[in-house]
A and B are shown apart, each in its own frame.
Chain A
């Protein structure tokens, strides 16, 4: 394996970083951002859409830092896992990512912007040439998608980040910056259906941090992840569920979000609205599970077959609800 050559830019402030991006953009140069590199570099080595310029933001201090309401894009995943102040749901989801060594390098921003994955894509150049490439990385051939054949409009590569559903369940918003200014939005609006576009980021724009509402301290949740091995493996499906409580401990609202089933993570507003807010809300776990199973649309491009992942969506959703309920009870008791 040989990483293709690229020019590396190492800014130390956000302003400088955005300036470099602007300049490259104006000069017509393609570039990528790099934070931990655990996603980008393997793809580069495989020759998947490498670009001639790479801007590293690992030296930008403004993007670091973890507090209960704000986590910087450059916060290392393992630092989140070990953080005493991050919300337990985020800690739980972060703790399932890859392995400790990879988490020491990987970052929050990188995990949110994780490239989508597919058996027909994450392969070497010779391999991809043997299937005449695919839509997502077509080497100028205009190739069709290998999962949904005879079309090259939609890419269905799977989004396999773990943090997004957990953050969605906490109603987190994501903050972006570019030389044009900053903007923010609820995390679910950040993602855009398509395995290639993935999210709303414009050329030259980066995620600076996520903001978690103050009230999240009273939110209890659980993240359930489906994978074959307890380390390294990306989620073949992940479901986060949360319940927020009023001061007297009765549930006020619920959230459920999923990852690993489609090209983007999804927040399932319509599903949780049907949960009755009485004390026995957890008995509906079974029903919610079945509904989530109907809602997700996995395709055949990861390790487990889609039929199985769909069925597991219902198990994961039910377990996430049951686990949240269990945690709620034990939190109340203590």
Chain B
């Protein structure tokens, strides 16, 4: 904060231009001193930049960036004035209700609506034939319909919908819809999805994989596969992860309204309004310009509100049929049936390390359970593999993955999309390897990190990386060296790391090809306030605040002069939505470039007014002045009014598109991002060895977000991620009974941790100053979730010596694992279990020495504006001058399995035993 709050404007010099009253615009009548601690050293301020200068440094005015800024919509929410999906009330509204099937899997033979329609008060009904066009969030896997066309695929799948004057009538009518089914054999176990079936859940035509329920399969092999065998220590385990749901507060709700001109407005709490916009046009068969998607306040999304949904289509169809606004709100149970949560997974993880303590290879086989629909699953299948190729330098990487359909609610994207489960297995594996090699797991990690400005094994471009600092900070602050392997039975400490994309490199819809990912429009009229038009969806993560901050910073304005218009597609430029942690990076970059245009206009005007050279003019707090003589300048409003001469309001548009990146192999685009975030957690736990109950006592959570534009919300994201990840590791699961029914579709049965389970979290922000991020920023919304899972698992091992391979670690599961360990170790009473100890071996010093060398190497690389290329593999003495595959004949890039693999495939890999139908025809 400002050291000296009393300064009121600047010194006025005689003979210079008339200086109007201090400050102009904003709620504070006085201009405030710029905060030198917020201004980078490269611009003459006092902000230390150990990571070097940034291209946005000259735009820093010391106003808001890096300051703890309350979210600008916070007061709306806490005073109850925020309009969420179900709060929208339009004149003449009626209530829609979806008719959901009670069958797991069946053909729909007929639907009889007569009884429902005869109930007084029922106004409209619809069935699948009213909207036969398919939709889906990914253009390659459009497999959803507004209502079932020929089949229902899980309990809760929608077969019809009704609208009536009130909720009671709508519910009654929905219960009177008679559907005749012909039962089909359902499958619930994801392993069954790999087999051929008489009735695959979907039919992909000639692209169908055998007659199986495999929706997507991936095979990737990188590096020197021969390295895999030269291992000194290895980890090999089969993991089971249960499915989890986002558990957001606000159930889905939607209001659809066709206005008198025949245009549709859809009010919906959506993370990705643009894809809904497209899907609506497809399903309703009207042009996109006839639709206005109005994003309401979103009561939590976490990935669960990023698909276009059938209920949104149903509301629009019912509204079109009835001519009245239709509102649909879900029960919690319907939220679970819509799901799109984290995929239940079976992951087989092998990690190998050589005698120098290098990670010579990672082999992963991930089978993921997609439920009834594709959703984001195509991408998830890739992410389960490619998102654990960093932050460590690895000798070889082999990934096989498959996603299958089952007769359960669809899995989809959820915070930490696809990366969470396999990351957990990797980090637990590294803990195990350290144990085998008698080294500290933090030492092992520090000696194997990729440097800044390097390429991963699959060709991702790492620009900034603060992994080392994250690890060092959590190690120091947690007192790791005094605690690890030194605490009594039941008390333990563990570490885990994470790596996540900051925006996805390719947009989901890439037509037309060069369309930007994010666009921001600014408009400033004579009042001086800045209206920011953006399509980025604020889902509570604070995207409205951050885009406002970016504009305020560049223009040197207080936040109360910025107003955000981000809700309606009619007025907002297209933004791809709030997923893959892209918003801060892309949208704030777009905002900065729009604000730079306005800034340029203002400097032109100020130059004209003051006669000072453009190059010497800078923006401060509502002033534009000569940086060499700050007394010379004009107020913001003066410059603005000058700039507006003969044209009125200033407008500017800025946009962002990712640079070209990545390799050319099939699937190379998955996981490509303009920047990556890194995080390291240390968790301290208390385990009751008799009941298997885990209490996480404290968590030190370091996250490299590049630059904390708003430290307050970064910390909020870290703590929130910690809570969400904690749920997956200790209690949350979608529990299916022996009949395939979801047993806990409610918030009593679905065990989200309460305040009692929540540990104290110490958020630690690491700022690696990303060269392409806005002011150096990267994502902070998803990455911080990843490390909590392995950190807790590893802490449990430290506490009681039990290695786990199943999540969530509910007390009964951990108790079973404890019993197994007791039996294995010949211990009768779990209270007598020996806990693990560490006697550091010879390799330990090697690793510490290498980490020191690497630390210096990294520092040089990040400060050097033109560092030499660094490709994953150099640690293994492979050639240094280019991608290893261009120099090393043994270096493989393989995306299709060979005969040898197919002779002995792993679980998910066995999906490759099927031939696609089109190839079956070819081979006869």
Contact = CB atoms under 8 A, between A and B. Distances in A.
Given A127-B333, A230-B754, A315-B690, A2 B171 contact: yes
B159 to A, nearest CB: 11
Contacts of B690: 315
A5 B168 CA distance: 10
B811 A126 contact: no
A331 interface: no
Interface string B731-756: 10000010101011100110101111
Given A126-B155, A130-B155, 5 more contacts: A2-B168, A127-B102, A129-B102, A228-B731, A232-B754
Contacts of A131: 739, 741
| Interface bin, chain B | 20 to 34
A131 B690 CA distance: 36
B156 A119 contact: no
Nearest to A119: B743
Given A228-B810, A304-B811, A126 B156 contact: yes
B691 A312 contact: yes
A101 interface: no
B815 A308 contact: yes
Given A124-B333, A130-B103, A303 B756 contact: no
The list of the 4 closest CB pairs from A to B, nearest first, reads: A230-B756, A130-B102, A308-B812, A231-B754
A22 to B, nearest CB: 31
B167 interface: yes
Given A229-B756, A231-B755, A127 B745 contact: yes
A2 B167 contact: yes
A231 B756 contact: yes
A125 B745 CA distance: 13
A289 B757 CA distance: 27
Contacts, number: 72
Interface string B117-143: 000000000000000000000000000
Contacts of A308: 811-812, 815-816
A127 B334 CA distance: 11
Interface centre among A2, A130, A311 (most CB of B within 10 A): A130
A290 to B, nearest CB: 12
Contacts of A1: 331
A63 interface: no
B295 interface: no
Contacts of B104: 130
Interface of B: 100, 102-104, 155-156, 167-168, 171, 175, 331, 333, 690-691, 731, 737, 739, 741, 743-745, 748-749, 751, 753-757, 810-812, 815-816
Contact of B155 (A119, A127, A226, A232): A127
Contacts of B748: 232-233
A311 B754 CA distance: 25
A233 B155 contact: no
22 contacts: A1-B331, A119-B737, A122-B749, A124-B331, A124-B333, A125-B175, A126-B156, A127-B741, A127-B745, A130-B155, A131-B739, A131-B741, A228-B731, A229-B731, A229-B753, A229-B754, A231-B754, A231-B755, A231-B756, A303-B749, A303-B751, A304-B810
Interface in A296-333: 303-305, 308, 311-312, 315
Nearest to B829: A286
Contacts of A303: 744, 749, 751
A131 B741 CA distance: 8
A1 to B, nearest CB: 5
A312 B167 CA distance: 45
Contacts of A126: 100, 102, 155-156, 333
Size category, A interface? 20 to 34
A2 B757 CA distance: 31
Interface of A: 1-2, 5, 99, 119-120, 122-127, 129-131, 226, 228-233, 303-305, 308, 311-312, 315
A126 B100 CA distance: 8
A232 B749 CA distance: 10
A304 B808 CA distance: 13
B135 to A, nearest CB: 24
Nearest to A309: B812
Contacts of B744: 119, 303
A130 B106 CA distance: 12
In this complex, the member of A119, A123, A126, A230 whose beta carbon has the largest number of chain B beta carbons within 10 angstroms is A126
A2 B95 CA distance: 13
Contacts of B753: 229
Nearest to B172: A2
Q: Which of A120, A123, A125 has the most CB of B within 10 A?
A: A123
Contact of B812 (A5, A124, A130, A304): A304
A99 B748 CA distance: 12
Contact of B757 (A230, A304, A312, A315): A230
Residue with the highest number of chain B CB atoms closer than 10 Å, among A125, A228, A232, A308 = A228
B736 to A, nearest CB: 11
Contacts of B731: 228-229
B806 to A, nearest CB: 14
A228 B811 contact: yes
B756 A233 contact: no
A10 to B, nearest CB: 23
A132 to B, nearest CB: 9
Nearest to A314: B690
B589 to A, nearest CB: 42
B754 A226 contact: no
A23 B331 CA distance: 37
Contacts of A231: 754-756
Contacts of A122: 749
B691 A315 contact: yes
A122 to B, nearest CB: 8
Given A127-B333, A130-B155, A315-B690, A233 B751 contact: yes
A123 B337 CA distance: 13
A231 B754 CA distance: 7
A125 B755 CA distance: 31
B250 to A, nearest CB: 15
